[in-house]
C-alpha cells in the first residue's frame, strides 16, 4: 500500500511540477524539499555541522507555527542543550519561523513525502523525536520514523469535521499511519473521538491537552498600544474595526460596512469616528487589497510605507507579516476573515485576548470548537452574508455596552482554559527522554502511563 502511495505521489509531483515551478510560492525552498541539505547544515569549513538527536517540530504555515511557538520556546528555555529543528511548508511560515526561533533552532522547508527526500533530512538530523503540529499526517514520513526508531507524535492535534470526512473515507490507508504514532496530543474531546474513529480502535494513544493557541496569545502592553495608536494618528474615542486575515470578497464586505458606518457617523454627528484596518491573509494579496480600497473611492494607507490615518476616507492596509495580533489592540471590534469566504475561518482567539469581540461568517469549520465555545458564551457574532455584517457592525456601534460585555466574556474564557503548553511539554519531554535517555530513563510503557494516554 505504501509503495502505491509513493508511486502516486511521485507521479503527481512529476505532472504538477512544471506548473508549480511557474508560481513563486511553489518554488520557495524547492531544493530543501527535494532533500538537498544546505552546506551550513551539513557542516563545512565555514560552519560546523548541526547537532543531531534533538526534537524536530513541523508546522505547515503561519497559523501552525504561531500555535507551536510557545512550546518551542518553552523547550528551549527549560532544556537549552536539546537541539531543535523547525520545518515549514510555506514561504510565509518559513519567514516567520526564521524570525522568531532562527536564533536557536535550525529552520528549513519540510521535504516532499518521498523516501529520498525525507530520508536525507532524517539522516542529517537523526532526531530523537518528531512533533507534527495539528493535522499533517504524511504516511511515508511516519513510516520512515517508525522503522528508524524515531518517536513521532502530534501536538495541538486538530481534525475539522470536513477533514474527518476525507480521512474517514480513506481510513483503510490512514489507519496504519495513525497507529504508528507514539502519541497524539489533541485539542479537545471532539478531536480525540474523530482520530479514534479513523483508527477504528480505542488503542490509539491519545491525550487531550487543550489548544496551545490559547497559551500563545502574547498581548502588547497598554503603553505600547497607546504608542501604536498615536503612530497611526488614531484618537482614543475612534471606533476602530480590524478586519483580520481577509480573503477575496471579504475586503469588499468590510469596506462596504465601513462606508455605511461612516455615513451613519456623519448623519448623526456621533463622536466616535469609524476607522478601518484591513490585514489580508496572504502577502500576494496586499496590492489587491489596496486596489479594492481605491476602486471603492477610499484612500489606502500602508503599513509598509509607514503611513497613517490623515483623512476621513483613509483605510489602513496592514501589509506586513506577524503584525495582526498587535493591531487587534487598537480594535473596538474585529471581523475575522476566511469565514465569509469558504475557507474555514482563521484565529478567533487573537482579538479576544484584548477583550475585543469578533464577528465572523458562517464558514468556521477550521475553528469549530472555539467558535462553538464562544457562541455558547454569547461572545461571538456570526453572520451569513456581507449585508448582515454591515448590520451587525452598526448594532455594535450604536450599543457600545454590548462590545465590552462580549469581549470580556471571550477574554475570561481564554484565561480559564490556558495551560495546554505545559501539558503538551510534559508529553513531549517524556517521549524524548525514552528515546534519547536525556534524563532518568523511564521506559516507553511507563512514559505512556504517566502521560495518561486515553484508550
CA 102 to each of CA 73, 82, 84: distance values in angstroms, whole numbers, following the listed order:
11, 15, 10
Q: What percent of the chain is modeled with pLDDT above 70?
A: 92
Q: Which residue has the higher pLDDT, 389 or 162?
A: 389
Which residue pairs, CB below 8 angstroms and at least 24 apart, start in 384-389? 385/340, 386/249, 386/252, 386/253, 386/256, 386/257, 386/340, 389/253, 389/254, 389/257, 389/335, 389/340, 389/359, 389/361
- The whole-number pLDDT of residue 174 equals 85
Instruction: Tell me whether residue 64 is one of the annotated catalytic residues.
Output: yes
Angstrom distance (rounded) from CA 419 to CA 24: 39
**Mean pLDDT value across the chain:** 89
Using a 10 angstrom Cβ sphere, with 0-12 exposed, 13-18 middle and 19 or more buried, the burial of residue 268 is exposed
Question: Among 144-148, 270-274, 292-296, whose mean pLDDT is lowest?
Answer: 270-274
Instruction: Output the pLDDT for position 48.
Output: 53
pLDDT band at 389 (very low <50, low <70, confident <90, very high): very high
Is the pLDDT score of 183 beyond 50? Answer: yes
Instruction: Please state whether the predicted TM-score (pTM) of the whole model is above 0.85.
Output: no
Average pLDDT over residues 2-7: 88
Q: What pLDDT band is residue 70 in, cutting at 50, 70 and 90?
A: very high
Write down the pLDDT at residue 74. 96
Place of cell 493557541: 213
Longest dimension (CA), the chain: 72
Determine the average pLDDT of the residues in 5-22. 82
Q: Summarize pLDDT for 392-449 with one digit per residue, the tens.
A: 999 999 999 999 999 999 999 999 889 999 999 999 999 998 877 544 333 333 333 3
Q: Which of 64, 134, 250, 388 is catalytic?
A: 64
Residue 410: φ, ψ to 5°: -65, -40
Residue 349: name the closest of 320, 324, 332 by CA.
324
Give me the mean pLDDT over the 103-129 stretch.
95
* Grid coordinates given for 430: 517524556
Q: Is the pLDDT of residue 454 over 60?
A: no
351-388 tens-digit pLDDT: 999 999 999 999 998 888 789 889 989 999 999 999 99
Residue 110 has pLDDT above 80, yes or no: yes
pLDDT higher than threshold 80 for residue 168: yes
pLDDT digits (tens, 9 = 90+) for 24-58: 676 788 899 999 998 766 644 444 567 899 999 99
Strands 206-208 and 274-280: unpaired
pLDDT of 192-223, one tens digit each? 999 999 998 888 999 999 989 888 788 999 99
Confidence of residue 166 (pLDDT cuts 50, 70, 90): confident
> What is the predicted pLDDT for the residue at 356?
97
What cell numbers appear for 100 in the block? Answer: 522568531
Can you give the pLDDT at residue 437? 55
Nearest CA to 253 out of 407, 115, 384 is that of: 384
Rounded to 5°, angle at Cα 100 from 97 and 105: 70
pLDDT recorded at residue 41? 64
Going along the chain from its start, the domains and CATH numbers come out as 52-215+421-451 (3.40.50.11720), 222-416 (3.40.50.2000)
Tens digits of residue pLDDT in 236-264:
999 999 999 999 999 999 999 999 999 99
Amino acid at each position: 500500500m505504501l509503495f502505491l502511495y509513493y508511486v502516486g505521489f511521485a507521479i503527481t509531483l512529476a505532472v504538477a511540477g512544471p506548473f508549480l515551478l511557474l508560481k513563486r510560492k511553489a518554488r520557495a525552498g524547492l531544493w530543501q524539499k527535494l532533500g538537498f541539505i544546505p552546506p551550513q547544515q551539513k557542516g563545512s569549513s565555514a560552519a560546523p555541522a548541526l547537532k543531531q538527536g534533538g526534537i524536530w517540530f513541523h508546522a505547515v504555515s503561519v497559523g501552525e507555527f504561531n500555535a507551536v511557538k510557545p512550546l518551542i520556546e518553552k523547550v528551549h528555555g527549560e532544556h537549552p542543550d536539546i537541539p531543535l529543528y523547525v520545518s515549514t511548508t510555506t514561504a510565509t511560515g518559513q519567514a516567520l519561523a526564521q524570525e522568531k526561533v532562527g536564533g536557536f533552532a535550525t529552520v528549513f522547508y519540510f521535504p516532499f513525502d518521498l523516501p529520498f527526500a525525507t530520508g536525507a533530512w532524517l539522516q542529517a538530523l537523526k532526531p530523537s523525536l518528531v512533533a507534527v503540529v495539528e493535522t499533517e499526517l504524511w504516511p511515508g514520513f511516519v513510516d520512515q520514523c517508525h522503522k528508524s526508531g524515531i518517536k513521532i507524535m502530534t501536538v495541538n492535534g486538530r481534525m475539522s469535521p470536513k477533514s474527518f470526512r476525507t480521512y474517514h473515507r480513506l481510513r483503510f490507508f490512514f489507519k496504519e499511519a495513525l497507529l504508528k504514532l507514539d502519541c497524539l496530543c489533541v485539542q479537545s474531546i471532539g478531536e480525540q473521538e474523530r482520530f479514534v474513529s479513523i483508527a477504528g480502535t480505542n488503542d490509539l494513544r491519545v491525550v487531550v491537552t487543550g489548544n496551545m493557541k490559547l497559551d500563545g496569545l502574547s498581548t502588547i502592553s497598554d503603553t505600547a498600544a497607546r504608542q501604536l495608536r498615536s503612530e497611526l494618528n488614531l484618537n482614543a474615542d475612534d471606533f476602530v474595526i480590524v478586519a483580520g486575515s481577509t480573503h477575496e470578497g471579504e475586503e469588499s464586505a468590510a469596506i462596504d460596512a465601513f462606508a455605511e458606518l461612516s455615513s451613519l457617523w456623519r448623519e448623526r454627528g456621533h463622536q466616535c469616528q469609524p476607522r478601518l484596518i484591513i490585514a489580508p491573509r496572504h502577502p500576494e494579496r496586499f496590492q489587491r487589497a489596496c486596489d479594492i480600497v481605491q476602486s471603492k473611492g477610499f484612500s489606502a494607507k500602508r503599513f509598509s510605507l509607514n503611513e497613517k490615518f490623515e483623512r476621513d476616507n483613509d483605510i489602513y492596509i496592514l501589509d506586513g507579516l506577524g503584525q495582526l495580533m498587535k493591531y487587534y489592540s487598537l480594535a473596538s471590534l474585529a471581523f475575522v476573515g476566511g469565514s465569509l469566504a469558504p475557507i474555514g475561518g482563521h484565529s478567533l482567539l487573537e482579538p479576544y485576548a484584548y477583550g475585543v469581540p469578533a464577528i465572523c461568517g458562517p464558514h468556521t469549520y477550521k475553528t469549530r470548537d472555539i467558535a462553538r465555545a464562544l457562541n455558547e458564551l454569547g461572545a461571538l457574532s456570526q453572520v451569513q452574508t456581507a449585508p448582515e455584517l454591515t448590520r451587525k457592525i452598526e448594532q455594535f456601534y450604536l450599543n457600545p455596552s454590548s462590545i465590552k460585555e462580549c469581549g470580556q466574556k471571550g477574554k475570561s474564557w481564554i484565561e480559564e482554559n490556558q495551560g495546554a503548553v505545559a501539558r503538551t511539554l510534559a508529553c513531549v519531554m517524556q517521549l524524548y527522554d525514552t528515546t534519547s535517555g536525556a534524563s532518568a530513563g523511564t521506559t516507553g510503557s511507563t512514559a505512556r502511563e504517566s502521560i495518561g494516554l486515553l484508550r
